[in-house]
Amino acid sequence: MSSKTASPKLHSAAWRISFWASLAFAFSAMLVFFFLQRFVEQDIQRRSDAWLSGEVEVLADVAERTPKDTLYGRVVGEVAELAGREVPNKLPSDNNSNDSVFFLQRGSDDSIQLWVGVGSSQNTLSAILHTKTISDQPTDVRVQGFAVPFRVASIRLDDGSRIYLGLSERDELRVLRNLRIRFLLLWLLIVLFGFVIVFLTTRRMLSHVRRITESASRIGHADLNTRVPTTKRNDEVAQLGLTLNRMLDRIESSMHQLHTITDSLAHDLRSPLTAIRGKLEMSLSASAHGEQAEPIVSAIEELDRLTEFLNQSLDVAEAKADALRLTRTEIELDELLRVMTDLYEPSMADKGLQIRLYNADTVTIEADAALIHRMIANLFDNELKHLPAASTVTIRLQLAGDSVSLVFEDNGPGFSPDVMPLLFERRVRGRDSNGHGLGLAFIDAVARAHGGAVTACNREKGGAQVTVMLPRVTGTNGGSLIGMVHAAH
Amino acid sequence: MRLLLVEDELDIQDFLKRSLEEAGYQVEAAPDAKTAERLAIDGAFDILIVDLGLPDQDGITLILRLRQLGVRAPVLILSARRSVDDRVRGLEQGGDDYLTKPFALAELLARLRNLLKRNNPAGNEATRLRVLDLELDLLRREASRSGQMLQLTPQEFVLLEYFCRNAGRVVTRSMILDQVWGMRIQPETNVVDVHIYRLRGKVDSAGQQPLIRTLRGVGYVLKDR
pLDDT in tens, A174-207: 888 888 899 899 999 999 998 999 889 888 888 8
Section A41-51 average pLDDT: 87
Q: Are A277 and B102 a contacting pair at CB < 8 A?
A: yes
Q: Are B187 and A300 a contacting pair at CB < 8 A?
A: no
Which one is predicted more confidently, A476 or A198?
A198
**Confidence check: pLDDT of A96 > 60:** no
**Confidence check: pLDDT of A111 > 50:** yes
pLDDT of residue A310: 85
Chain B residues with at least one Cβ partner in A under 8 Å: 9, 11-12, 15-16, 18-19, 53, 80-84, 86, 89, 100-105, 155, 177, 181-191, 194-195, 198, 216-218
* d(CA B123, nearest CA chain A) in Å: 32
Considering A120-124, A468-472, B97-101, the range whose residues carry the highest mean pLDDT is: A468-472
Q: Which residues contact A75 (CB under 8 A, 6 or more apart)?
A: A62, A66
Q: What is the 3 state secondary structure string of B9-50?
A: CHHHHHHHHHHHHHCCCEEEEECCHHHHHHHHHHCCCCEEEE
Q: Are strands A162-168 and A101-106 parallel, antiparallel or unpaired?
A: antiparallel
pLDDT of residue A72: 75
> What's the distance, CA A14 to chain centroid?
8
Section A305-313 average pLDDT: 84
pLDDT of residue B17: 93
* d(CA B222, nearest CA chain A) in Å: 17
* d(CA A301, nearest CA chain B) in Å: 6
Q: Are A385 and B189 a contacting pair at CB < 8 A?
A: yes
pLDDT of residue A91: 61
Q: What is the 3 state secondary structure string of B132-180?
A: CCEEEECCCCEEEECCEEECCCHHHHHHHHHHHHCCCCEECHHHHHHHH
pLDDT single digits (tens) A13-26: 888 888 898 899 89
Q: Where exactly does CATH 1.10.10.10 map onto chain B?
A: 128-222
pLDDT of residue B121: 64
**Confidence check: pLDDT of B145 > 70:** yes
What does CATH list as the number for B2-119?
3.40.50.2300
Q: Which domains does chain A have, with CATH numbers?
A: 2-90+97-176 (3.30.450.20), 236-320 (1.10.287), 328-488 (3.30.565.10)
Q: Provide the percentage of residues in chain B whose pLDDT is more than 90.
A: 32
- Cα A474 from Cα A462, distance rounded (Å): 35
* d(CA A305, nearest CA chain B) in Å: 8
Q: Where exactly does CATH 3.40.50.2300 map onto chain B?
A: 2-119
Q: Are B80 and A381 a contacting pair at CB < 8 A?
A: no
Q: Which amino acid is at B162?
A: Y
Interface test with A, best of B101, B174, B214, B218 (most A CBs within 10 A): B101
Lowest mean pLDDT among A233-237, A431-435, B171-175: A431-435
pLDDT of residue A154: 84
Task: State the pLDDT confidence band at A328, using cuts at 50, 70 and 90.
Answer: confident
State the CATH architecture for B128-222: Orthogonal Bundle (1.10)
Considering A47-61, A214-228, A321-335, A366-380, the range whose residues carry the highest mean pLDDT is: A366-380
A vs B, Cβ pairs < 8 A, gives 125
Q: Which residues contact B169 (CB under 8 A, 6 or more apart)?
A: B106, B109, B110, B221
Instruction: Identify which of B104, B185, B216 has the shortest CB distance to residue A377.
Output: B185
Q: Are A278 and B53 a contacting pair at CB < 8 A?
A: no
Please give the DSSP secondary-structure letter assigned to residue B53.
B
Q: Are A271 and B80 a contacting pair at CB < 8 A?
A: yes
- Cα A292 from Cα A257, distance rounded (Å): 45
Section A314-324 average pLDDT: 78
* DSSP alpha helix (H) spans, A219-368: 236-286, 293-320, 333-350
pLDDT single digits (tens) A362-414: 888 999 888 899 899 989 988 888 888 889 999 999 988 889 999 999 998 88
Section A262-290 average pLDDT: 80
Q: Which residue of chain A is at minimal alpha-carbon distance from B186?
A: A308
* d(CA B63, nearest CA chain A) in Å: 20
pLDDT single digits (tens) A113-170: 788 777 777 888 888 887 776 666 788 888 877 888 888 888 888 878 888 888 888 8
- Cα B89 from Cα A46, distance rounded (Å): 96
**Confidence check: pLDDT of B25 > 90:** yes
Section A233-253 average pLDDT: 85
Q: Provide the percentage of residues in chain B whose pLDDT is more than 70.
A: 95
Q: Provide the percentage of residues in chain A whose pLDDT is more than 90.
A: 14
Arithmetic mean of pLDDT over chain A: 80
pLDDT single digits (tens) B165-209: 888 888 888 889 988 888 878 887 889 999 999 999 998 887 788
Q: Provide the percentage of residues in chain A whose pLDDT is more than 70.
A: 85
Q: Are A284 and B81 a contacting pair at CB < 8 A?
A: no
Arithmetic mean of pLDDT over chain B: 86
Residue pair B166/B110 in contact (Cβ under 8 Å)? The answer is yes
Q: Are B15 and A339 a contacting pair at CB < 8 A?
A: no
